[in-house]
Copies of this chain bind each other. A is one copy, B any other.
């Protein structure tokens, strides 16, 4: 349950950091080991003392992300926010989570971009991603969802997976829209837009017909 990253030597950490920077900039295939070495301030041969192959570096990044993010941020962060601040007030809880997650995604975006990209192409990477991050996040949210349903704050008839995916889907597109396409479009006020997103998540975009309660 503890992070196995701790047994990383200082040099290994420097190589990993450099690898994250370079690969996140150019993509895995376009990133050369020589540039990673230069950025890390070590000889190229040194890299292969710590990572047998280039693909092993990618695995190292994934594991690193899994440990740092999944353990420290996803689980701990979600639990703290949802259970402490968002226990009574669903709207406040969701808003906190969304803001928190936006900042988090921003912070780990270099790593995240690498992992997402490679997960699109390689099943083995996808499997690690699922085991290390997704499945655990689902567990946490399921617990929260169960409690909210019991409290009468969330709909019982919508599964936790569907509900959680809805939140995440809105969050992801919100992030993409703002951070990737931001320069190309006129952006609305951040908080105003976020409030709308939360409204959409919580109460939907449709006006219920009089006869059609569900």
Contacts and interface: CB of A to CB of B under 8 A. Distances in A.
Given A29-B29, A162-B193, A181-B134, A117 B117 contact: yes
Given A170-B166, A170-B169, A206 B121 contact: no
Contacts of A163: 200, 205
A14 to B, nearest CB: 24
B165 A173 contact: yes
Interface residues of A, number: 60
Contacts of A168: 169, 173
Interface stretch (A4-12, A33-41, A98-106, A151-159): A151-159
How many chain copies does the complex carry?
2
A197 to B, nearest CB: 6
A1 interface: no
B205 A166 contact: yes
Given A163-B205, A165-B173, 9 more contacts: A27-B27, A90-B206, A127-B184, A130-B184, A155-B205, A172-B173, A201-B204, A202-B206, A203-B208
Interface of A: 25-30, 90-91, 113, 116-117, 119-121, 123, 126-127, 130, 134, 152-155, 157-159, 161-163, 165-174, 177, 180-181, 183-185, 188, 193, 196-197, 199-208, 214
- What 6 A-B pairs come out closest when comparing CB atoms? A169-B169, A29-B29, A202-B206, A204-B204, A203-B204, A169-B173
